[in-house]
Structure 1
Amino acid sequence: MRAFIAVDLPQEFNDKVADVQSKFNDFKFKFVDPGIVHITVRFLGDVPDDKIPDISRALDSVKCEPFEAHVKGVGVFPKPKFTKVIWLGCEGNFDKLYESVTDSLSSFEFEPNLHRFSAHATLARVKYLPRKKKTEFLEILDELKDVDIGVMQVDAVKLKKSVLTPQGPLYETLHEVSLK
């Protein structure tokens, strides 16, 4: 199964997330349903079903105190003139959480992360951005660079299963670890 470890955004952020996404309605982007927008701490990839209990036990050893996080600002990967992902920025103790999650999973042979960890919540994927719409897109990005979604308490990480469907991904929480 396709699996990842994440921090969910609180439900009370859904309307603000949807409002930010609506600014891009004139584009044909693939938006993430606001109700499932999350911060991926570690993508695991395809994991054999029989490894899930071992991964869950390993995650129970995560050592990171709960912390406050600020979700604000819209950005893109890899760069504004060649955008593939539109995201919300997330400030907080995510580097410590990422390190602890990574340490707890060190005995497993997951693919290494190719990019430096950067806490973010994906809002949309961009397959195509017409050249004639690029200026409009960059103006909207600039307008949203300081948008404030809110402050949240990060007190748990979740091991999730992802099933990709034509309508978008479906997520199921397989294990939850309370931070302490």
Structure 2
Amino acid sequence: MIRTFIAVELPDKFIPEIKKIGSALDMPGIKLVEPEQVHITLKFLGDIKESDVDSILSALSQINCRQFEAKIKEVGVFPKLAYIKVIWLGAEGNFDVLHDEVERVLSLFKFEKDHHFSPHATLARVKQLRDKSLLLGNLKKLEHIDLGMMNVGSILLKKSTLTPAGPVYETLGEIRLKD
């Protein structure tokens, strides 16, 4: 079994800004995502059989969604400021249509449906926060950040291997969206 998810990768041009954001969030109790690994998860599939990879990629190739421009901006939190577990970078664009198409083409596989999809890229996970007021102050400074535009031209089926140093991602396949 392999742990998998479907993602949109952020372009390398955003890495320097993600590193700057990370340095503002880097404090005890916060586990940062490596800037090169920050991505938008369209759907977490969980554990699948390796033998299912080709049929999942084949299903994903049936997605009916055109390429689109997306804006990457704003830093926020889940579930709420009073109880922060995840710090994220916002994504605006045709992600709801793309997510709905992913759900549609994968419905035969009986994956659990995502009922509250919110396009974002996880920047950090909060483990045990020691200085909440410092974090809240830094989040306030970052909330209106704007990294700019990107083209969403493909989606990736990714394998995630959990290690003590953090997850290691491997691309199992790429599906291009329609022009």
TM-score interval, smaller chain: over 0.9
2:90 corresponding residue in structure 1: 89
1:75 corresponding residue in structure 2: 76
* Structure 2 residue matching 1:95: 3-state secondary structure: helix
TM-score for the superposition, normalised by structure 2: 0.96
* Structure 2 residue matching 1:146: 3-state secondary structure: coil
What is the count of residue pairs matched by the alignment? 177
1:175 corresponding residue in structure 2: 173
1:31 corresponding residue in structure 2: 32
CA deviation map 1:43-88 (0-9, x unaligned): 0001111111110100000111000000000000001111110000
- The percent identity for this pair of structures is 50
Within-5 A mapping of 1:58-137: 58-113=59-114, 115-130=115-130, 133-137=131-135
Question: Retained in 2: the 8 A contact 1:81–1:134?
Answer: no
Looking at structure 2, the residues matched to 27 and 91 of structure 1 have their Cα atoms a distance apart, in angstroms, of: 30
TM-score for the superposition, normalised by structure 1: 0.96
Looking at structure 2, the residues matched to 163 and 32 of structure 1 have their Cα atoms a distance apart, in angstroms, of: 14
Within-5 A mapping of 1:155-170: 155-170=153-168
Which moved further from structure 2: 118-127 or 137-146? 137-146
Question: Retained in 1: the 8 A contact 2:38–2:122?
Answer: yes
Q: Give the gaps of 5 or more residues in structure 1.
A: none
* Structure 2 residue matching 1:111: 3-state secondary structure: coil
Looking at structure 2, the residues matched to 88 and 50 of structure 1 have their Cα atoms a distance apart, in angstroms, of: 34
Letter in 2 for 1:16: E
Question: Retained in 2: the 8 A contact 1:76–1:85?
Answer: yes
CA deviation map 1:114-151 (0-9, x unaligned): x5100000000111112xx2122111111111011121
How large is the RMSD of aligned CA atoms in angstroms? 0.9
Q: Give the gaps of 5 or more residues in structure 2.
A: none
Question: Retained in 2: the 8 A contact 1:158–1:174?
Answer: yes
Question: Retained in 2: the 8 A contact 1:90–1:121?
Answer: yes
